[in-house]
A = this chain, B = another copy of it.
């Protein structure tokens, strides 16, 4: 994990809506959560939610799988764990 990637992931999680999306996905676990379900829980428009989800995907923090008309989203837990490892190693006294 290099600084550039860690910074990118931190930046994406440094936004209330995206953090809320990520936490919902973590809680949803292996079942994942449909985009529509996320939208129902957080109150944000479809286009806005889609935008944020795609930023999370771009940072490797979220993955999607389609099932028919429904797109399920999943948290990429390893991606966040790598960030935490980076922070502990590089930012907590050296």
Number of interface residues of A (CB under 8 A): 33
A83 at the interface (CB under 8 A from B): yes
Q: A35-94: which have CB < 8 Å to B?
A: 75, 77, 80-81, 83-84, 87-88, 90-94
Q: How far does the alpha carbon of A7 sit from the alpha carbon of B19 in the complex, in Å? A: 7
A26 to B80, Cβ gap below 8 A?
Answer: no
Binding site for B on A (CB under 8 A): 3-4, 6-16, 19-20, 22-23, 26-27, 29, 75, 77, 80-81, 83-84, 87-88, 90-94
A-B contact pairs, 30 of them (CB 8 A): A3-B19, A4-B16, A6-B19, A7-B13, A7-B15, A7-B16, A7-B19, A9-B14, A10-B10, A10-B11, A10-B13, A10-B14, A10-B19, A11-B11, A11-B15, A12-B14, A13-B14, A13-B91, A23-B91, A26-B92, A26-B93, A26-B94, A27-B94, A29-B93, A75-B91, A77-B92, A83-B87, A84-B84, A84-B87, A84-B92
